[in-house]
Chains A and B, each alone.
Chain A
Amino acid sequence: MERAVALGARLADRDDPLGKEARRDLVLTSGLSREGVELALTEHLESAISSDDMASLLAAVKTAPRCHVILAANVGTAALRAIALALAASSEVTIRPSRRDPGLAPILARELGIAVAGELTAAPGDALHVYGSDATIAEVRAAAAPGVIVTGHGTGLGVAVISAGVDLREAARALAADVIPFDQRGCLSPRVAVVEGDADRAAAFAAALDAALRDLGEVVPRGGLDEATRAAIALYGAAIDAVGERFAGPQHVVGLDPAPRALQLPPPARVVHVVPARAVDAARLLGPWARFITTVGSAGAGALLDAALALAPEARPAALGRMQRPALDGPVDRRGLGK
């Protein structure tokens, strides 16, 4: 596993031959812009691990004679953590990368001597880690042979809580730094910002976030959008035009719903839904989403944040600006680990 982390450091290094290869591959397959790939590799790839995190990671992993990993068309760098976890579970690891978007998996497999297979055959007692949608995980679980220990790593989303009293421009800049990586496609990517206070405060935050995303977008442009994503953005925008205010930038959208009855999930393409809320609103707004929340990012502290964390107790808490930099202390997604 330490070798995987060391490899992360080489991949992050743009002057290392492996780093160059990774950049070339991810630009071709990830859909991110060249700058987006650079950001992902240099800032969001696990390239070090502390002894405490190592201990946590090992504690989170059940050892098995063999470990098989089905990787999704995940964010490009996600394969590293998935493989590190598999190596912590077993010295005999086989992976099946996504055909559509293999990310770093082929390089990691080659450099670490890990077997790559088109189909995985797990035997009783083997561990099988599945990355993908809940439906995919359920399918794999149902098809697995009896005795195979299947662990699902599903899809999810991040929620940002902007507490009362914090500087809105500072919080907006920090949140933008969490939205930009992977073009918001990660399960830790914030899709919704809940602003403690009234509609005016949420509107001020939405405007600040719009400005911050505009600034960062010039440095790290969004990758190309396919038609389905553009269509999803159009429908989201039309809904926001009806209920609130849309701040549309060249590479992002911020949608403000000043009086939310429910939350709207925006498409993952640097589109952030902003609502005002008080702690008493948390259950109504976040409750239906609680099981999907993988991380709660926060600026400041207060009753709303407490309520959000209580609703999603397995979500990773993080400071805004750190939502996409989780410690290598186990799976990114902690939901269900306590079971």
Chain B
Amino acid sequence: MKYTIRQAGSNVNVTPTSPLREFFLLTAGLLGGVIGIYILLGLAVDLIVPRISTDLENKMGRLFIRSIEAKDMDSQRKSYIRSLLEDLQERCAQLPYSIKVHIRQASTVNAAALPAGHIIVYTGLLDKVASENELAFVLAHEMGHFAHRDHLRGMGRAFVFITISTLLFGTDSSISKMLAHGLNITEMSFSRKQETRADEFALETLHCNYGHVAGATDFFEKISKVEDPGKFGHYFASHPERRKRISHLENIIRSREFKLGRRDPLPKTWRQLKD
């Protein structure tokens, strides 16, 4: 047996490969998977929302409420709004929530419905309203979101994460808190259909409470005159079909033969009630 000296020509132990190609291929695969899950979560929202009990929702609400209350303003207007809401709820719109109002200082002409019956009203909105009916319509619109549980759907995919983490880890866990913080709950988006349903709910409530529906479209009219929609919050700015909504409401008013009465004024001291 003769030993021949020779150097191995090719290396069989190392696969000739382009690491960059592998990197992009695998990353793309991973991203594809994540996007797939994300889309599925979006679909899961509609499945999960009807199955959420108000009890669980209240638990979830506790996750946000501290950061909301921290910015709360103890306004005199708040007690007025609260009594208005109580009237609406007692007389016309029975909801399984005890609705709590929070007023926040911001130029945003906006109100938002958050989980567990919390309504955030921005001072920008309070400065703009001219009559009680108008304010009642906006509040009833938010109540409509509660009635249809849009406020849970509006949170979108984040809602699925929060529900799962609340169920798994409870409200006191740092994971749930982190999720709640990371989620900008005021950036909820509602579909046109949800807005329309909430508008209809608000109109019914308004009619039931006052016996007429004056002031229902005031807000839309007012806002649509303003040139720059960017200045206003999502409540109206994200509703590009404002004209359509007005005509939709007017159609209902006409077909149901709702009356238009006198608008109830806001308290005389409204302007001085500013914080």
* Chain A complexes with chain B: no
Q: B residues near A, CB below 8 A?
A: none
Q: A residues near B, CB below 8 A?
A: none
